[in-house]
Amino acid sequence: MRGVHIVAEKTRPSELGSAFGHSLHLDLYGVDRGLCDDIGFCYALLDELIERMGMHKQSPPFIFRSPDIEFPDKAGLSGWVPLIESGISIHTLTIVGFVSIDIYTCGFLDVADTTAFLVDRLHASSCEQQYLIRGAKYHDQQPG
């Protein structure tokens, strides 16, 4: 990953056991401001990520530009794509070259590959990663 240091990494256990799924949260720093402010790039990034992960869209991504005149410190993009397997959100702050991506899925998630792909595609200089197991007792539940 181009020498990028990842902090707060938690590795995915070999078995999720009775868990429902998992959630990966990435904060990427040093991203080119042009990429942070490019709706077409972020739309394509979400599409590429979904294809790479083998997920299935419920709809095309929704991406919105923050009103930079009213909120200059929040200038950037926010987007979301609903998946059959849950969803992915992206938020950019153009002025500081920051991108935050959250992936929640009940499907398989290769944390290392997904992180490397996003760091490379965004040309991030550094990345913080958080990984969570979701619904740890989900499959233990009995209907009714």
**50 touches 117 (CB < 8 A):** no
SS3 40: helix
Residues of the chain with pLDDT under 70: 1-18, 142, 144
Six token digits for residue 65: 């530009």
pTM: 0.84
| Integer Cα distance of 34 and 40 in angstroms | 11
| Integer Cα distance of 102 and 122 in angstroms | 15
**What is the predicted pLDDT for the residue at 12?**
43
**12 touches 111 (CB < 8 A):** yes
**What is the predicted pLDDT for the residue at 72?**
83
**What is the predicted pLDDT for the residue at 133?**
86
Extended strands (E) in the chain: 6-7, 21-29, 62-65, 77-83, 86-93, 98-105, 126-134
